[in-house]
């Protein structure tokens, strides 16, 4: 690090670490509260903390009305860019505020009140963001479900969140195909035990949905009769949203985000991490179904007075690999945030990056997250764009970056493979199995010392025990991130991958445990194990190793096709589950635990040592051979 940059960063880092209440009170003071908080941090018990507990605010007010009041009425708040429908639309802050207030009126007329849940299952159209903000305006709680999830996954979330209303659209548009959402929604409601009172459906011209009389409303029709609804003040500790994410079991976890901590943390991150100022154009090329979409498509850019880009398309094939450069040039994007997968896909289609016709002079910095940024992809983007590329690490649970090169504080020298340094407010430690801190450069479990800064999850919806057991019990006094890695002599963090059964496919977080449950339910299968194996574009892909029941005859190709169909039906196409291998035995410890880590190491070609507790060492070369024969070993 240069001495000055290092000093600037360390000074702020120490301030946040030594006097967190003063530090965060100063950040909170930058927002327009109805009642500014005096109680900054309160510890309730060993596991639970509250930020800003006596503060009163409304997040949608901060994102829209307050911006209008500060003179941004005519500034563009949101740019919708949709190559898949060949259309674009711009909303000024005034227009977006008015649209949101009217849609909040639709929800209010349906009885949605403070604290009620509203599930949002929508493609990347402006109405998705409008829906989220309208729910927030009423002090209600949204739960957005990514459009690529199946009816079964949607049903699980409906049953857990118990929404009064579900918001959806007639269809989504993927690369050259229209996906009907409404039949999936109907199927999900049939499967769910909880029945929402109403569904509001946005009819897209590409496909009209059939509406169920009494339950379903036509979005556009409902708006015609709606009265704008006012912002409802909520406590800082009231929930803003529940976002489900994959854990190690089949049941997704509903991460709960509060209003106050979230707004303060996101506002801070826009300055400290992303180095934005009001009026900047911020493009997070993600989906509102993921945390990146919640934080950096919808809330943070608006709370910071920026212009956000909502992109309905892919990095490639909509129509080609120059889509990112086209959007950046056309909308004068200042900050681009995307997953490494997107750049790997662009690089594959257009290794030279045909940038000549695009004016990227407005683009200042490229941020990447969602999965490990491999040094080759990092170098390619740096070479082609000649701009700072920042790898930053975060999770659905934290809602904003834990480690980053804090561009708004000081741009530190980058080290490929590292997400740089902890962001002020986060105390990152590397622990061994026993919870002891390890030395610099030694790998271990990445843990965050409590209390977590504002904006991080406060609990798991309806299951606080899962919050405590899943995150806080492993290392008392710490939040266990589920990631492994190390900190080097310069204090740089290297996140190497998950230490649990979560995998990352094209920047999408998936549970191998959930896939195992589905695969194991096939009548021919006695036992199975699903692991993530390397995939050149998507980073990882799932693969099942299956043991067939004694006496059952199956054809591997037919079985694989059946399992692929089952996972697609139960989880959705986004699981990218395409590989199943029949094996004679699975490597286990003598106590019967499948050695998944060993299998992952075999698949990715890394060095491994055979543990003395292994029951059947001969299973290892056997599996390696089978994988080799199918071309599934890294480098094979």
The vertex-286 CA angle with 281 and 287, nearest 5°, equals: 115
Asked if residue 9 binds ligand AMP (CB under 6 A), the reply is no
Tokens representing 309 are: 């880009």
From the list 377, 405, 419, 619, which residue makes contact with ligand AMP (rule: CB under 6 A)?
A: 419
From the list 50, 245, 420, 458, which residue makes contact with ligand AMP (rule: CB under 6 A)?
A: 245
- Please report, as residue ranges, which positions from 493 to 512 form the binding site for ligand COA (by CB under 6 A): 506-507
> For residue 358, what are the contacts with CB-CB under 8 A and spacing of at least 6?
322, 325, 326, 328, 329
Residue among 177 and 434 whose Cβ is closer to ligand COA: 177
> For residue 282, what are the contacts with CB-CB under 8 A and spacing of at least 6?
270, 274, 276, 296, 300, 301, 304, 306, 307, 308, 309, 333, 334, 335, 337
Tokens representing 115 are: 């604290």
Asked if residue 342 binds ligand COA (CB under 6 A), the reply is yes
From the list 143, 295, 341, 365, which residue makes contact with ligand COA (rule: CB under 6 A)?
A: 341
Residue among 202 and 393 whose Cβ is closer to ligand AMP: 393
User: Which strand (E) or helix (H) includes residue 272?
Assistant: helix 260-272
**Alpha carbon of 227 to those of 36, 96, 166, 223, 562: distances in Å?**
29, 15, 20, 8, 50
- Please report, as residue ranges, which positions from 508 to 547 form the binding site for ligand AMP (by CB under 6 A): 509
Mutual angle of helices 93-109 and 126-137, in 10-degree steps: 60
Of the candidates 423, 441, 552, which has an alpha carbon nearest to the alpha carbon of residue 486?
441
- The site string for ligand COA over 278-317 (x = CB under 6 A, - otherwise) reads -------xx---x-x---------------------xxx-
Question: Which does residue 573 touch among ligand AMP, ligand COA, none (CB within 5 to 8 A, set by kind)?
Answer: ligand COA
Shortest spacing between CB 526 and ligand COA, in angstroms: 28
471: helix, coil or strand?
helix
The vertex-628 CA angle with 624 and 631, nearest 5°, equals: 140
Asked if residue 561 binds ligand COA (CB under 6 A), the reply is no
From the list 237, 269, 295, 396, which residue makes contact with ligand AMP (rule: CB under 6 A)?
A: 396
Residue among 209 and 255 whose Cβ is closer to ligand AMP: 255
Residue labelled with tokens 């927002």 = 31
| Backbone CA torsion sign across 459, 235, 124, 297 | negative
Please identify, among the stretches 5-13, 134-142, 154-162, 333-341, the one whose residues bind ligand COA according to the rule CB under 6 A. Answer: 333-341
Asked if residue 504 binds ligand AMP (CB under 6 A), the reply is yes
User: Which strand (E) or helix (H) includes residue 482?
Assistant: strand 478-487
From the list 369, 533, 546, 586, which residue makes contact with ligand AMP (rule: CB under 6 A)?
A: 369
Length of the chain: 636
Residue among 27 and 504 whose Cβ is closer to ligand AMP: 504
From the list 172, 313, 370, 470, which residue makes contact with ligand AMP (rule: CB under 6 A)?
A: 370
Of the candidates 76, 75, 30, 77, which has an alpha carbon nearest to the alpha carbon of residue 57?
30
Shortest spacing between CB 538 and ligand COA, in angstroms: 6
- d(Cα 327, Cα 267) in Å, to the nearest integer? 25
| Backbone CA torsion sign across 472, 473, 475, 476 | positive
Please identify, among the stretches 232-240, 321-329, 363-371, 409-417, the one whose residues bind ligand AMP according to the rule CB under 6 A. Answer: 363-371
- Please report, as residue ranges, which positions from 465 to 494 form the binding site for ligand AMP (by CB under 6 A): 482-483
Asked if residue 564 binds ligand COA (CB under 6 A), the reply is no
Residue labelled with tokens 């089952």 = 566
513: helix, coil or strand?
helix
Residue among 258 and 391 whose Cβ is closer to ligand AMP: 391
Shortest spacing between CB 99 and ligand AMP, in angstroms: 28
> For residue 193, what are the contacts with CB-CB under 8 A and spacing of at least 6?
159
Shortest spacing between CB 126 and ligand AMP, in angstroms: 23
**Are the CB atoms for 212 and 89 separated by under 8 Å?**
no
Please identify, among the stretches 198-206, 341-349, 379-387, 595-603, the one whose residues bind ligand COA according to the rule CB under 6 A. Answer: 341-349
Asked if residue 393 binds ligand AMP (CB under 6 A), the reply is yes
- d(Cα 611, Cα 178) in Å, to the nearest integer? 50
Please identify, among the stretches 109-117, 389-397, 468-476, 595-603, the one whose residues bind ligand AMP according to the rule CB under 6 A. Answer: 389-397
Residue 348's CB is within 10 A of a number of other CB atoms, namely 12
Asked if residue 172 binds ligand COA (CB under 6 A), the reply is yes
From the list 102, 392, 522, 596, which residue makes contact with ligand AMP (rule: CB under 6 A)?
A: 392
From the list 57, 263, 291, 583, which residue makes contact with ligand AMP (rule: CB under 6 A)?
A: 291
Please identify, among the stretches 68-76, 186-194, 262-270, 568-576, the one whose residues bind ligand COA according to the rule CB under 6 A. Answer: 568-576
Asked if residue 391 binds ligand AMP (CB under 6 A), the reply is yes
- d(Cα 338, Cα 284) in Å, to the nearest integer? 6
Residue among 245 and 429 whose Cβ is closer to ligand AMP: 245
Binding footprint of ligand COA on the chain (CB under 6 A): 147-148, 172, 174-175, 179, 285-286, 290, 292, 314-316, 338-339, 341-342, 345, 370, 506-507, 537, 573-574, 576
Binding footprint of ligand AMP on the chain (CB under 6 A): 245, 291, 369-373, 391-396, 419, 482-483, 495, 498, 504, 509
């Amino acid at each position: 690090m240069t001495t000055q940059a290092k000093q600037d960063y360390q000074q702020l880092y120490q301030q946040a670490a030594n006097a967190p209440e003063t530090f965060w009170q100063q950040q909170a003071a930058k927002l327009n509260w109805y009642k500014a908080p005096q109680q900054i941090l309160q510890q309730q018990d060993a596991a639970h903390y509250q930020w800003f507990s006596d503060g009163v605010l409304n997040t949608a007010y901060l994102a829209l009305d307050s911006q209008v009041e500060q003179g941004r009425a005519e500034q563009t708040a949101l740019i919708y860019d949709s190559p898949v429908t060949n259309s674009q639309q711009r909303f000024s802050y005034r227009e977006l505020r008015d649209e949101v207030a009217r849609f909040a009126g639709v929800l209010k007329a349906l009885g949605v009140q403070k604290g009620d849940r509203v599930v949002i299952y929508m493609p990347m159209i402006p109405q998705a963001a409008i829906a989220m903000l309208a729910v927030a305006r009423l002090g209600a709680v949204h739960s957005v479900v990514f459009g690529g999830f199946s009816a079964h996954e949607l049903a699980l979330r409906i049953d857990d969140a118990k929404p009064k209303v579900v918001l959806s659209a007639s269809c989504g548009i993927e690369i050259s195909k229209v996906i009907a959402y409404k039949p999936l929604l109907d199927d999900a409601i049939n499967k769910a035990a909880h029945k929402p009172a109403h569904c509001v459906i946005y009819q897209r011209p590409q496909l009209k949905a059939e509406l169920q009389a009494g339950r379903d409303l036509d979005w556009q029709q409902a708006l015609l009769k709606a009265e704008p609804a006012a912002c409802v003040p909520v406590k800082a500790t009231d929930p803003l949203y529940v976002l489900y994410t994959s854990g190690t079991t089949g049941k997704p976890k509903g991460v709960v985000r509060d209003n106050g901590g979230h707004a303060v943390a996101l506002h801070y991150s826009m300055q400290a991490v992303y180095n934005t100022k009001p009026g900047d154009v911020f493009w997070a090329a993600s989906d509102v179904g993921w945390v990146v979409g919640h934080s950096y498509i919808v809330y943070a850019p608006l709370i910071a007075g920026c212009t956000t880009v909502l992109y309905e398309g892919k990095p490639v094939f909509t129509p080609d690999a120059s889509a990112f450069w086209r959007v950046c040039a056309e909308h004068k994007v200042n900050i681009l945030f995307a997953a490494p997968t997107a750049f790997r896909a662009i690089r594959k289609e257009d290794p030279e990056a045909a940038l000549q016709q695009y004016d990227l002079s407005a683009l200042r910095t490229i941020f990447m997250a969602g999965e490990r940024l491999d040094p080759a992809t990092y170098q390619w983007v740096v070479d082609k764009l000649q701009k700072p590329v920042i790898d930053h690490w975060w999770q659905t649970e934290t809602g904003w970056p834990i480690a980053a090169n804090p561009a708004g504080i000081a741009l530190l020298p980058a080290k490929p493979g590292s997400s740089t340094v902890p962001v002020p407010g986060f105390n990152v430690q590397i622990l061994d199995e026993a919870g002891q801190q390890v030395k610099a450069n030694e790998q271990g479990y990445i843990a965050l010392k409590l209390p977590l800064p504002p904006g991080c999850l406060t609990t798991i919806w309806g299951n606080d025990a899962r919050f405590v057991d899943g995150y806080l019990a492993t290392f008392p006094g710490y939040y266990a991130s589920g990631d492994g890695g190390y900190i080097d002599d310069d204090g740089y963090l290297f996140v190497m991958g998950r230490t649990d059964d979560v995998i990352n496919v094209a920047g999408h977080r998936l549970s191998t445990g959930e896939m195992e449950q589905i695969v194991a339910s096939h009548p021919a299968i006695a036992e199975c194990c699903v692991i993530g194996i390397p995939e050149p574009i998507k980073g990882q892909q799932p693969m099942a190793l299956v043991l067939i029941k004694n006496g059952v005859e199956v054809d591997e190709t037919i079985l694989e096709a059946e399992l692929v169909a089952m996972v697609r039906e139960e989880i959705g196409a986004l699981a990218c589950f395409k590989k199943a291998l029949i094996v004679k035995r699975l490597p286990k410890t003598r106590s019967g635990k499948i050695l998944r880590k060993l299998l992952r190491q075999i698949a990715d070609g890394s060095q491994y040592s055979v543990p003395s507790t292994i029951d059947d060492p001969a299973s290892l070369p056997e599996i390696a051979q089978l994988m080799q024969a199918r071309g599934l070993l890294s480098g094979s």
